[in-house]
Amino acid sequence: MEKVVIYATKTGTSAAVAEKIAQEQKAERYSYKEMPSLTKEQAVIYVGSIYAGQILGLEKVAKRLAAASEVTLVTVGLMAPELAETQKLRAAAIKKAQSKGDFLLGAHFSLQGSLDLDKLSFPQRTLIKAMYKQGKKNPTGELGSIVTALENFQPFEWIQVTEVLEKLSV
């Protein structure tokens, strides 16, 4: 089965992850903004940034997928994947995207991303800073995980992609 990697990114991490997966899987790679028409016979791997509680571009892609297409999902987000709040937000974003199209969710991989504020637009930086301030005021609230993620900033760990590739090859 032919594989196709589709991606959406805010600052480039998801694009780089998609490129690595496409190389290793010998697949074509496309931005969600320029993806070709797809058939049910193509295996789709979607790599998307999680931003503001949404999986960037997934709803638009869902509308363009062939009915009953199976999608392997790789999400890259600032908040730690193992946190309950992160899992709740991701599940809601997936459900919303599935309501926009008729696709089947295959394997799902959640990667810990990183955030380079310098790569964001002024409004995006302003939003992140406002969320951070709110989270500092109420660290046990839903924005507390944003504070934790920003204060414990780590560079992107490429070993995560190696682990995804090992599971995709099985």
Residues ≥6 apart with Cβ < 8 Å to 16:
none
Same domain, 107 and 139: no
At 50, give phi and psi (nearest 5°).
Answer: -95, 120
Domain coverage including residue 37: 3-114+156-169
What's the pLDDT score for residue 125? 85
Same domain, 82 and 165: yes
Same domain, 58 and 128: no
**pTM across the whole model:** 0.83
Summarised one tens digit per residue, pLDDT across range 150-160 is 777 677 788 88
**Residue keyed to tokens 């295959």:** 106
Mean pLDDT of 51-55: 80
Summarised one tens digit per residue, pLDDT across range 134-155 is 888 887 766 776 777 777 767 7
Domain count, the chain: 2
Same domain, 36 and 108: yes
